[in-house]
Structures are given as structure tokens and as C-alpha cells.
Amino acid sequence: MAEETSPQGGQGLLFLTDEQLRKGIEAMFFAYRGFTADPDRILADKDYGRAHHRAIHFINRSPGTTVNNLLAILGVTKQSLNRVLRSLMQDGLVQSKIGREDKRERHLFLTEAGAVLERALSDAQRDRMRMAYRKAGPVAVAGFRQVLESMMDENMRRQYEALRDRGRS
Amino acid sequence: MAEETSPQGGQGLLFLTDEQLRKGIEAMFFAYRGFTADPDRILADKDYGRAHHRAIHFINRSPGTTVNNLLAILGVTKQSLNRVLRSLMQDGLVQSKIGREDKRERHLFLTEAGAVLERALSDAQRDRMRMAYRKAGPVAVAGFRQVLESMMDENMRRQYEALRDRGRS
DNA sequence: TTGGAATGTCAACAAGGCTGACATATTCTG
DNA sequence: CAGAATATGTCAGCCTTGTTGACATTCCAA
């Protein structure tokens, strides 16, 4: 900790050393495991996986979204997403309605049962996030979000911000 | 932004609302994609995947680590890890040496070729991290790390900190 | 009205998780 | 020393979730 005595070379640049960067990389790796652990446990019982969780999350977030929209957000192929959606629809958690304007499109909605599972999953995930936020405090949280946003690809950030705005408008 | 006028209810609690927590969740999702995107591109050419990257990263980090150690850090089954290690050893990127103290153990090392790939992968990942750090600044970075550490499971944090200490000692 | 673009579905394959069973070598313990 | 425990490797088989390819339907514009 001796290098932090100099306010410039210490605080000013220490956070950019390879060592610091590697710590950040490892922190992301371990934290992401924690981030997914709780929902994974819930899903394991039900023969669903993370892919189902992601689909449910974003359908809940943007009810009536199309398959194509969801593809852009999730960043997978439509064939991959389709398999997940098919099982969710068969199990009655997701409902798809043929578009009125454009009949090629399918608009996706959670059913009541789907909303119940969504709530269970996001409650578990939010609980952990809340704990972490509370422990770290508002200043740390602002920094957390700032770094994550800078880490996104350009088009991911667009997706993220499109979702982001909806909450307030 | 009108809700931030009250210093208590605004800054003090706003970061714990469900809406804020959900934004944090989505930020993690999108940022993790960015986090893995660059190495993934490098690996795609070489018939390797993220599993190989993780193994290489932690062998480089702790040269001479045992298979069992690696299992604990990566959180996968030995069958799964073994498949990865076998291909890395066949390709001459990783070398295993029988333990001198305990001959049951295999100590893992990167070969010169393995170190070259490791460098390519971590350079790519560090570049993105560095960019994000620089953009966000040291205060944000401290918060970023703080929240991530609070998000880990107990035993993951132990793994993380065991690695962490090595850099300074 | 017809051909191309967009949307979504089905089929088949690969990577990389998982479990279970088992072999081997080594070490530790009673 | 005999037997249990530990560390590792391997085989087989399963599941999820990514991929590409082929194809049906629908829309739109020339």
C-alpha cells in the first residue's frame, strides 16, 4: 500500500496498472457467477436454463415485443431463441400473438403463470443486488454502473439505453 | 431527474428502488457480453471456447496449480475440465508435471506457446477494461470493484481474495 | 403480379456443462 | 501392513444452448 502516499502516481494512476485491470477482470468473472447463481437454482428444478430466464426477463420488460426485437437484445440466433420460446409457449408461460399490422411478426407476452415465474426469478436476483448495493453505498453504485456502461459494445449500450429510458417516460 | 432534488429520498435511497436494481441487473448482462466479446473473437479462429480461456487465465495466474485447485476456482466438474485440459495439452499449450511432494497431484503450467495465447487474450480483455476504467475514473472504479465483491458468493470471494493477495506479497 | 426481403419455424450438429461408474496411483490411518 | 481416503483420468450418456441450412409465410416495391 506504500504507493498510495503520492496522490498523483497513487490514486491517479494505480487503477490503470495491469495488476489492477486483472483484478477487475477476475472480479467480473466471480461476480457474474454470483449474479446468476440464485435464478439458476430456481430454474434447475424446472428444466429451464439461463436462456429461458433471459427471454422471460426481456418479455416482461417489453410486453408485446417481437421475436426480432428479442433477438437483437439477446444477441443469439433466431433458431436458438425459437427453441426456448417454443418450450415456454408449450408450458403456457409465454403467449405469442400474430401482428395486426404485419402478420409476419409475433408479439410476445407473459401469461399469468409466466409472470409468476418472472417474479420469483427477479426477486431472487434483486435480493442479491440489493444486498450488494446496500453494502457498497450509493457512491459505489454510481461508479459500478458507470464502469459497466463503459464496458458495453456500442450497439449493446444502445439496447441498454432503449430499455433504460422506458422506465421513466 | 426531478426526484433527485431531495437529498435524502433522492441520493440516499434512489439507488435501492426496484427500478434501479433492475437497471443494475441489465447493466451486468450487457456489460458481461462486452467483457467476453474480444477474447471470444480470438478463440473462435482456434477451435477453442471460453472454457479454454478460463483455464489458461488461471493457470497463468497461478503457475504450478493443481487440477483440484483449478476445479475449485472454475466451479466445474473434473470431467468437464479434463476435456479442456486434454486438448490444451495435446496442442502443446499446457504442460502438467507430477508433484514431487505428492505424486498423485499434477501441477499445471503454460508452455511458451500457451503464454503467447494467454497474452493475446488478456491484452484484448485488458484493453477494453482499461478503456472503461479511464472513461469512468478512479472513484467509479473503486465503486465498481466494491459492488462486484459484495455480489460474490462467500466461497467465490475467498477464491478471489486468495488470488488477489498473491499480486502484492 | 412477381421477385426479393423480412419474419419465423423445423432439423441437425457441436461445444461444453452435468452425472455416474470405474481404474490407477498414491498417501494416510488404525 | 490392510484398508480407507485422496487426486486424477477416462468412458458413456444426457441436457442446454449455441450454430448453420432449408423452408414457409407474409409483405412490399418495381
pLDDT in tens, B107-124: 999 999 999 999 999 999
Place of cell 466461497: B155
Residue B2 has a pLDDT of 43
Claim: this prediction has a pTM higher than 0.85: yes
Q: How far is the CA of B104 from the C1' of D3 (A)?
A: 18
pLDDT (tens digit per residue) in A55-69: 999 999 999 999 999
* CA B56/CA B64 separation, integer angstroms: 12
- CB contact set of A54 (below 8 Å; sequence gap of 6+): A74, B29
Q: Residue A149 — very low, low, confident or very high, per pLDDT cuts 50/70/90? A: very high
- State which nucleotides on strand D lie below 7 Å from a protein beta carbon: 6-13, 15-22, 25-28
Amino acid sitting at position A17 = T
CB neighbour list of residue A106: distance below 8 Å, 6 or more residues apart = A66, A67, A96, A97, A98, A99
pLDDT band, very low/low/confident/very high, at B10 (cuts 50, 70, 90): very low
The phi, psi pair for B57, rounded to 5°, reads: -55, -50
Residue B34 at interface with chain A, using a CB cutoff of 8 Å: yes
Above pLDDT 70, what percent of chain A? 89
Question: Helix, strand, or coil here: B46?
Answer: coil
Q: In the prediction, which pLDDT does B40 show?
A: 95
Q: How far is the CA of A61 from the C1' of D24 (A)?
A: 30
Residue A2 DSSP symbol: G
Determine the protein residue whose CA lies at the shortest distance from the C1' of D21: A79
Q: Minimal CA–CA distance to B143: which of A143, A146, A22, A151?
A: A143
